[in-house]
């Protein structure tokens, strides 16, 4: 078969997406590749198509058991023989899987990086021809990234120990320049094709909220998404327990997932979610990597994550099918303090030399600061994320809360100079609260203790509201007029641009929102316009097709999206195929699935 035949007959697609064909072609020609593609862009297809065409076996290194199970289930549903080898299998099951691999039954084997070090796997690798090693979630190999896994460092040793060096393909959704260089260097990619297709996910709507009552705001957001599948991320296990309990009391069938639960509890929660028995998952970041659930319509971060990489990866679990999805982040000052604590605790147990731990911790605090700035920027939220990853474009996307909020520009040069002068005149010894309280003329215990009433800036901005002072202070930090330390007590210091402002060489222009609560309505209008493709009659058919899909999924004990994605069902509703040949024109329907499920879905369409 040729690549186009595999693409259509196995996976059900008429054409490759952006970047996929180049990576497939170069892999087939024996070139190493590094693909950096956003979640939902089809990274897996880039190594699965070559795997079916190359002679021998493809080893896919994957970090999580759930990721492997999901990928293998999806391949088996397409008629592709694949297997995974990890700690979830008994020794007997592992031996049987490797025996089948030696017999040539599998074209693709997923393995945890720890498994590569075992004697049994090493023996298998020497007995079969390995044509391709694909490293999924390749950013895990970099200690400068947000999800470093020491076990990934062993991949290079495994490759070097093979009788014949295979083609190496590395893929990730999020990688800054430093992480990208680490991947290339540590894996030893030889003259690789490096393709960055872009980080933008145009179907995702981004929004930041600063609610006084997060629980009440959560109920509002869930009421806007009735019966839809969504994930709510919390920063701690305690928060997961509290939010899930609160939602269940409010009548929502929410399940929970965190590392403190037993393996059986985590498995049950995950299955309830991916099988659509429970539409709402409340979880820490322990959940989600590799979960290929295509119909997640919203992701809510109940707490701010520790960095942009984590946020974009977790938010990107919404809308994998390309349909409109909503990504909301709730911010509070406590979120930053919790993350600082988690970073410090993580470094205590890091398997790194003391000097490296200090560097990694400093970088983690720097990423946290940039995450905090995201929560306060009045510029385009999508543009902020893309710039973080090195993409530069316009400053208006039209599909985020900031772009749908009306702003007015104000000159705050004098206020900015006063705040900066206050930091300088107090010897750069205090935190943000003391600085704000000083310029507004507060009479608190700390102001009296630190004798800040004697500061020349005391009370100079008494007429400016506190929330506005904090907005200006955040802007000064964002533009590096000021900076904060990452010590036990966060102190405000002068930044590299402070002298220019104090000398009157620069003016400060800040955008302030005219209306503080207009974004959600705008989001609903945007989403309504995007989702208006189906008529009322189509929506009724869509409901019947979903019911049939659920029935089949229960019969086969697989998640519904493994049968067909929502996007495929919507395309069926619009095309209304009348026979098996027309069914093959539907996006996501290949020959195998058409033969397996076609008659039942065609009958359902005819009944409509």
- Other C-beta atoms lying within 10 Å of the C-beta of residue 421: 19
pLDDT tens for 467-511 read 889 889 989 998 899 998 876 577 999 999 999 999 999 899 988
Arithmetic mean of pLDDT, 78-89: 88
Using CA atoms, how far residue 350 sits from 12, 138, 343, 557, in Å, is 44, 20, 10, 40
pLDDT tens for 323-337 read 899 999 999 989 988
Q: How high is the pLDDT of residue 526?
A: 44
Distance of alpha carbon 192 from alpha carbon 461, whole angstroms: 57
Do 129 and 59 share a structural domain? yes
**pLDDT band at residue 525, thresholds of 50, 70 and 90?**
very low
Do 295 and 262 share a structural domain? yes
Backbone angles phi, psi at 605, to 5 degrees: -65, -40
Helix axes 381-388, 354-376, angle to 10 degrees: 160
Do 29 and 142 share a structural domain? yes
Q: How high is the pLDDT of residue 352?
A: 67
User: Which CATH number goes with the domain that contains 180?
Assistant: 3.40.50.300
Number of domains present in the structure of the chain: 4
Residue 518 has pLDDT above 70, yes or no: no
Concatenate the DSSP letters of all residues of 16-58 into one string: --TTHHHHHHHHHTT--EEEE--TTS-HHHHHHHHHHHSSSEE
Do 160 and 64 share a structural domain? yes
Q: How high is the pLDDT of residue 182?
A: 93
Do 111 and 15 share a structural domain? yes
Distance of alpha carbon 177 from alpha carbon 297, whole angstroms: 30
Structural domain of 211: 204-388
Q: How high is the pLDDT of residue 608?
A: 65
pLDDT tens for 208-238 read 999 999 999 999 999 988 889 999 999 999 9
- Extract the tokens encoding 508: 């400060």
Distance of alpha carbon 230 from alpha carbon 320, whole angstroms: 12
Q: How high is the pLDDT of residue 98?
A: 87
Do 425 and 374 share a structural domain? no
Do 213 and 274 share a structural domain? yes
pLDDT tens for 233-264 read 999 999 999 999 999 999 999 999 998 999 89
Q: Are 509 and 410 in contact (CB under 8 A)?
A: yes
């Amino acid at each position: 078969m040729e690549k186009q035949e595999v693409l259509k007959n196995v996976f059900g697609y008429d054409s490759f997406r952006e970047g996929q064909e180049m990576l497939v072609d170069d892999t087939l020609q024996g070139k190493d590749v590094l693909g950096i593609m956003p979640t939902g862009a089809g990274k897996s297809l880039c190594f699965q198509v070559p795997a079916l065409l190359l002679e021998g076996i493809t080893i896919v290194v994957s970090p999580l058991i759930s990721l492997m199970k999901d990928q293998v289930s999806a391949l088996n549903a397409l008629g592709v023989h694949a297997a995974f080898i990890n700690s979830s299998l008994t020794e007997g099951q592992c031996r049987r899987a490797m025996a089948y691999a030696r017999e040539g039954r599998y074209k693709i084997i997923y393995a945890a990086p720890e498994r590569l070090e075992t004697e049994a796997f090493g023996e298998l690798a020497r007995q079969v021809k390995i044509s391709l090693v694909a490293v999924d979630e390749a950013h895990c190999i970099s200690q400068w990234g947000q999800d470093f896994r020491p076990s990934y460092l062993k991949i290079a040793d495994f490759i070097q120990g093979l009788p014949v060096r295979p083609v190496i393909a590395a893929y990730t959704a999020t990688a800054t320049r430093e992480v990208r260089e680490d991947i290339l260097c540590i894996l030893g990619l030889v003259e690789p094709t490096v393709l960055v297709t872009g980080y933008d996910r145009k179907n995702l709507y981004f929004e930041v909220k600063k609610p006084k009552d997060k629980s009440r705001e959560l109920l509002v957001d869930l009421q806007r998404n009735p019966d839809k599948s969504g994930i709510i991320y919390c920063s701690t296990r305690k928060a997961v327990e509290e939010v899930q309990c609160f939602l269940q009391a409010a009548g929502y069938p929410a399940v929970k997932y965190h590392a403190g639960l037993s393996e059986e509890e985590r498995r049950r929660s995950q299955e309830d979610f991916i099988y659509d028995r429970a539409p709402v998952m409340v979880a820490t970041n322990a959940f989600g990597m590799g979960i290929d659930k295509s119909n997640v319509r919203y992701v809510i971060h109940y707490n701010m994550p520790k960095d942009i990489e984590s946020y974009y990866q977790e938010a990107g679990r919404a809308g994998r099918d390309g349909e409109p999805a909503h990504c909301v982040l709730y911010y509070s000052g406590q979120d930053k303090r919790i993350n600082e604590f988690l970073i410090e605790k993580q470094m205590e147990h890091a398997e790194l030399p003391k000097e490296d731990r200090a560097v990694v911790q400093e970088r983690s605090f720097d990423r946290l600061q940039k995450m905090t700035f995201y929560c306060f920027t009045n510029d385009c939220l999508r543009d902020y994320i893309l710039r973080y990853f090195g993409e530069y474009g316009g400053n208006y996307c039209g599909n985020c809360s900031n772009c749908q909020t009306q702003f007015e520009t104000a000159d705050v040069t004098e206020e900015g100079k006063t705040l900066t002068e206050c930091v300088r005149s107090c010897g750069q010894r205090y935190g943000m609260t003391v600085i704000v309280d000083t310029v507004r003329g507060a009479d608190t215990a700390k102001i009296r203790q630190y004798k800040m009433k004697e500061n020349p800036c005391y009370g100079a901005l008494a007429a400016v509201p506190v929330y506005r002072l904090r907005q200006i202070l955040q802007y000064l930090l964002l533009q590096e007029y000021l900076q904060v330390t990452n010590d036990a007590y966060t102190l405000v210091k002068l930044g590299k641009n402070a002298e220019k402002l104090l000398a009157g060489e620069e003016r400060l222009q800040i955008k302030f929102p005219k209306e503080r609560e207009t974004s959600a309505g705008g989001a609903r209008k945007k989403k309504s316009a995007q989702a208006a493709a189906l008529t009322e009659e189509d929506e009724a058919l869509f409901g019947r097709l979903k019911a049939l899909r659920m029935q089949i999924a229960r019969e086969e004990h697989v998640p519904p999206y493994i049968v067909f994605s929502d996007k495929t069902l919507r395309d069926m509703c619009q095309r209304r195929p009348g026979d098996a040949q027309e069914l093959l024109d539907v996006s996501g329907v290949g020959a195998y699935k058409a033969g397996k499920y076609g008659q039942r879905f065609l009958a359902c369409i005819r009944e409509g």
